[in-house]
């Protein structure tokens, strides 16, 4: 069982720079993956990237449903995202949120199918194909590892609004001393 680690929030540099590829598939990586699952479940997320717990490595975990309601759970190390060609793309305009920008959601159109090629924690090649929320999750988590948050894909004005609402909510959490 992994250890629940605190989730890093927007503004922390580790979220805003590309993560390093994993080069060793060892016990440290296995332990990191366990901690990531524990942290994701504790935060009630459906996906989590390593830099969201402060580790700048290209790893994400997910436990997420697809367009048919099937649940998919796994880990992807050194993921490479593949999206349908521009002409074959259907966009899904659902709302998106992020554990690193807690409490906020905004509509963000993304392709409704995505494929990720990568490796599991033992270094075996894996390919994951996603539809529905899983397609969104695969894109969102790969973005994290490239140093981007979903709010970076919003129109500038909308991004500002989401950040302002988040800042306001963090103020409210502070004790009045």
The residues of the shown chain that bind Zn ion, judged by CB under 5 A, are 98
**Residue of minimal CB distance from Zn ion?**
98
Beta bridge mates, 129: 115
Pull the structure tokens for residue 75.
Answer: 């880990």
In the complex with Zn ion, which residue's Cβ is closer, 98 or 108?
Answer: 98
Q: How far is CA 78 from CA 19, 20, 60, 89, 101, in A?
A: 10, 9, 9, 24, 24
Is 72 labelled as part of a ligand binding site? no
Which is catalytic among the residues 124, 141, 167, 168?
A: 141
CB of 176 to Zn ion, least distance (A): 30
| CB proximity list for 42: less than 8 A, separation 6 or greater | 4
Report the chain's C-alpha Rg in angstroms: 16
CB of 100 to Zn ion, least distance (A): 5
Residues 110, 16 contacting (CB under 8 angstroms): no
CB of 61 to Zn ion, least distance (A): 12
Phi then psi for residue 36, to 5 deg, are -65, -45
Please confirm, yes or no, whether 95 is among the known catalytic residues. no
Is 9 labelled as part of a ligand binding site? no
In the complex with Zn ion, which residue's Cβ is closer, 38 or 98?
Answer: 98
Is 98 labelled as part of a ligand binding site? yes
In the complex with Zn ion, which residue's Cβ is closer, 24 or 44?
Answer: 44
Give the residue numbers marked as catalytic: 141
Annotated binding site for Fe cation: 98, 140, 144
């Amino acid at each position: 069982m992994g250890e629940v680690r605190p989730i890093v929030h927007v503004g922390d540099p580790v979220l805003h720079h590309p993560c390093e590829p994993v080069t060793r598939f060892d016990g440290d990586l296995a332990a990191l993956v366990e901690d990531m699952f524990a942290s994701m479940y504790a935060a009630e997320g459906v996906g989590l990237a390593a830099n969201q717990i402060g580790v700048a490595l290209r790893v994400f975990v997910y436990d997420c449903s697809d367009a048919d309601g099937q649940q998919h759970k796994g880990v992807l190390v050194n993921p490479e995202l593949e999206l349908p060609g521009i002409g074959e793309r259907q966009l899904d305009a659902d709302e998106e949120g992020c554990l690193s920008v807690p409490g906020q959601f905004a509509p963000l159109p993304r392709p409704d199918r995505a494929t990720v090629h990568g490796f599991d924690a033992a270094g075996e090649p894996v390919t994951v194909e996603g539809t529905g929320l899983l397609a969104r999750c695969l894109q969102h988590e790969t973005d994290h590892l490239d140093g981007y948050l979903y709010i970076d894909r919003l129109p500038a004005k909308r991004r500002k609004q989401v950040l302002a609402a988040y800042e306001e909510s963090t103020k409210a959490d502070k004790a009045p001393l």
